[in-house]
C-alpha cells in the first residue's frame, strides 16, 4: 500500500463529494467536528475544519475498502493520512483558484442534473427526493452542505475539461504495436508440491544453527494490577441537569439532533458515573504508587504479545514502563479502569532448537523446494516438453486455463518482456513456469480508444504539472500544526 500511495492520491485528488453512506471517521487529538474556522488558505480559497474532517473521512474509507475492512487509525497514522487529507484539499483549492480566474461557475441546472444522476438516491430506478433527504440526514449532512460540495466537484471537473489530454496517432500506433505482438508458446508448470523434502532433525538442526538468532522468545512483562470498581455514587437532579446543559452535544439522536434532557437522562447518568469512576481510579493510583495498599485487591499476571488479555493499546503503554517509572495511570480496558505496576521485564532470548523447531520446518521446506525447483528448471529449460498455445498476446491471460488469472498475468508479463527465446519464471505461489517462444507474429488490430494507458499516463503527468504550476502562482498558508 505504501508503494502505491502516490497513485491512489492522484486518482482521488479532484473529488470533494462527501462519501455518502460510509459515515465519518474522526481522529485522535484533532477534533474538527466544528465546521467553522479555517485550517488553511490557498490563494483566495479558505479550507475549513469541516472540509478537512470530511476529506480525512473519505480518504480513510477509500483505504478501508482497498484493505477490505482491515484498516484502522494506527495504519492511517503510519501513512500520514491526515496530511494526505489536507494535501488533497489544497490541490482542489488550487484548481478552484484557477476556475475563479476564468470566471467559471456551476449553474443550478447543472447541479440538479448531477444530483439526479447519483443512483444511491434512486428508488425503483427514479430519483427520490425523500431518500435524498434521509441519506444526507443519516450522514450528518445538510442539503446545503452537500450541494455545495457537489458544486465544487463539478467546478473542478469543468476546469480540468478546459485542458484535455489526448494521445497522438503516433502514440496510439506504438501502443498498437506493443499490444498486437502475439507469441506461440510452449510452457510447463513445475509444481513445488510435487517435491518431497527430508525434514530429519540432522538437516533441520544444521539449517537452524545458521539462522538461530531469528528465533527468539517474546518479551514478557510481569505485572501487578488493580481493577477499579465502578462508582456507585448517586447524583441529584441539579447535578444531572448541570452536566446535561454543559455537554448537550454528547446526546444526539439518529437524526443528529440534540435530545432533550429526559431522553438523555440515562446517558447522562452513565457518563457521570464513568467520570466519577475515573476520578476514583486516579485516587487509587496515587495510593498504590505510595505503597498504601490496605484494602486494595492486587492481582498478578505475566503478559506478552501472544498472551495479552488487556488489548494492544494497553500493552503498548505497558511496554514503555521501566523499573524507574513502573506505574501506569488508570487505563480503560474492556470498560474497566485498571492500574498497572511493572515488576519485571523478561527480555527476548534465543530459542533452543526444540523450541524453534515448529517455526524452522516451514522455512526449511520452502527454501529447499525453491532451490530444487530452480535446479530442475535450469536443467530442463532446453529439453522440456509441455503445453503449446495458439498465438496469444500479453492480455490473453484467460487462455492459460491451468493458471489463475493472476498467475497468468505474472507469467505472460515475463514472456513478453523477455529478450530470450527460452527461460523460466517463478510465480507468486512458489511454482515455476519454464517456457519456449516457438513463433511470433504481429496481429492486424487497431486501437483508436483515447481511454488507454498512454492517455491515462499523460493525464497523470499533466495534472501533476498543473499542480506544480499553480503552487507557484497561488500562496498556500497552513494554520494548524502537527500534520
User: DSSP per residue over 223-265, as a string?
Assistant: EEEEEEPPP-----HHHHHHHHHH-GGG-B-TTSPBPPHHHHH
pLDDT per residue as tens digits for the range 368-386: 999 999 999 999 999 999 9
Q: Are 433 and 187 in contact (CB under 8 A)?
A: yes
Q: Is 60 exceeded by the pLDDT of residue 54?
A: yes
Beta bridge partners of 45: 42
- E strands, 75-127, are 122-123, 126-127
CA dist 146 and 150 (Å) reads 6
What pLDDT is attached to residue 253?
82
The cell for 262 is 429526559
Beta-carbon count within 10 A of 232 CB: 8
Percent of the chain surpassing pLDDT 90: 47
Across 66-75, 105-114, 196-205, least confident range:
66-75
Nearest 5°: the CA angle 348, 351, 354 is: 155
What pLDDT is attached to residue 8?
40
Beta bridge partners of 126: 123
CA dist 48 and 41 (Å) reads 9
Reported pTM: 0.47
pLDDT band at 452 (very low <50, low <70, confident <90, very high): low
Q: At residue 270, what are phi and psi to the nearest 5 degrees?
A: -65, -45
* pLDDT, the chain, mean: 84
Angle between helices 237-246 and 261-289 (to 10 degrees): 100
pLDDT band at 416 (very low <50, low <70, confident <90, very high): confident
User: Looking at residue 144, what DSSP letter applies?
Assistant: H
What pLDDT is attached to residue 279?
92
pLDDT per residue as tens digits for the range 80-121: 899 999 999 999 999 999 999 989 999 999 999 999 988 888
pLDDT band at 304 (very low <50, low <70, confident <90, very high): very high
Amino acid at each position: 500500500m505504501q508503494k502505491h500511495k502516490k497513485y491512489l492520491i492522484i486518482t482521488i485528488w479532484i473529488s470533494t463529494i462527501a462519501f455518502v453512506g460510509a459515515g465519518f471517521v474522526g481522529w485522535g487529538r484533532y477534533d474538527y467536528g466544528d465546521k467553522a474556522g479555517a485550517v488553511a488558505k490557498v490563494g483566495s480559497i479558505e479550507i475549513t475544519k469541516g472540509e478537512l474532517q470530511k476529506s480525512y473521512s473519505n480518504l480513510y474509507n477509500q483505504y478501508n475498502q482497498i484493505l477490505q475492512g482491515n484498516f484502522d487509525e494506527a495504519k492511517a497514522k503510519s501513512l500520514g493520512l491526515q496530511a494526505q487529507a489536507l494535501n488533497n484539499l489544497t490541490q482542489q483549492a488550487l484548481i478552484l483558484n484557477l476556475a475563479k480566474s476564468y470566471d467559471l461557475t456551476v449553474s443550478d441546472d447543472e447541479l440538479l442534473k448531477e444530483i439526479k444522476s447519483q443512483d444511491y438516491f434512486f428508488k425503483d430506478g427514479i430519483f427520490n427526493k425523500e431518500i435524498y433527504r434521509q441519506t444526507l440526514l443519516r450522514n450528518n449532512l445538510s442539503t446545503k452542505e452537500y450541494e455545495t460540495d457537489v458544486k465544487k466537484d463539478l467546478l473542478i471537473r469543468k476546469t480540468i475539461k478546459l485542458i484535455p489530454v489526448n494521445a497522438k496517432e503516433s502514440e496510439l500506433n506504438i501502443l498498437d504495436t506493443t499490444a498486437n505482438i502475439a507469441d506461440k508458446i510452449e510452457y510447463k508448470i513445475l509444481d513445488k508440491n510435487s517435491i518431497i523434502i527430508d525434514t530429519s532433525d540432522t538437516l533441520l538442526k544444521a539449517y537452524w544453527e545458521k539462522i538461530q538468532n531469528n528465533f527468539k522468545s517474546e518479551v514478557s512483562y510481569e505485572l501487578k494490577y488493580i481493577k477499579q470498581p465502578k462508582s456507585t455514587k448517586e447524583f441529584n437532579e441539579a447535578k444531572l441537569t448541570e452536566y446535561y446543559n454543559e455537554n448537550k452535544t454528547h446526546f444526539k439522536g439518529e437524526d443528529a439532533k440534540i435530545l432533550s434532557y429526559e431522553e438523555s437522562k440515562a446517558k447522562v447518568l452513565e457518563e457521570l458515573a464513568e467520570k466519577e469512576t475515573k476520578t476514583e481510579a486516579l485516587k487509587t493510583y496515587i495510593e498504590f504508587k505510595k505503597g498504601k495498599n490496605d484494602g486494595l485487591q492486587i492481582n498478578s499476571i505475566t503478559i506478552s504479545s501472544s498472551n495479552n488479555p488487556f488489548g494492544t493499546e494497553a500493552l503498548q503503554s505497558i511496554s514503555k514502563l521501566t523499573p524507574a517509572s513502573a506505574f501506569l495511570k488508570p487505563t480503560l480496558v474492556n470498560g474497566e479502569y485498571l492500574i498497572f505496576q511493572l515488576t519485571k521485564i523478561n527480555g527476548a532470548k534465543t530459542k533452543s532448537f526444540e523450541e524453534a523447531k515448529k517455526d524452522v520446518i516451514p522455512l526449511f521446506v520452502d527454501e529447499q523446494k525453491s532451490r530444487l525447483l530452480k535446479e530442475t528448471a535450469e536443467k530442463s529449460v532446453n529439453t522440456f516438453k509441455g503445453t503449446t498455445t495458439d498465438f496469444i498476446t500479453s492480455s490473453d491471460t484467460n487462455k492459460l486455463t491451468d493458471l489463475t488469472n493472476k498467475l497468468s498475468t505474472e507469467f505472460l508479463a515475463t514472456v513478453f518482456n523477455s529478450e530470450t527465446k527460452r527461460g523460466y519464471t517463478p510465480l507468486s505461489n512458489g511454482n515455476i513456469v519454464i517456457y519456449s517462444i516457438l513463433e511470433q507474429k504481429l496481429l492486424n488490430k487497431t486501437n483508436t480508444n483515447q481511454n488507454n494507458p498512454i492517455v491515462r499516463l499523460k493525464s497523470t503527468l499533466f495534472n501533476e504539472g498543473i499542480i506544480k504550476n499553480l503552487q507557484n502562482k497561488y500562496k498556500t498558508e497552513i494554520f494548524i500544526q502537527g500534520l
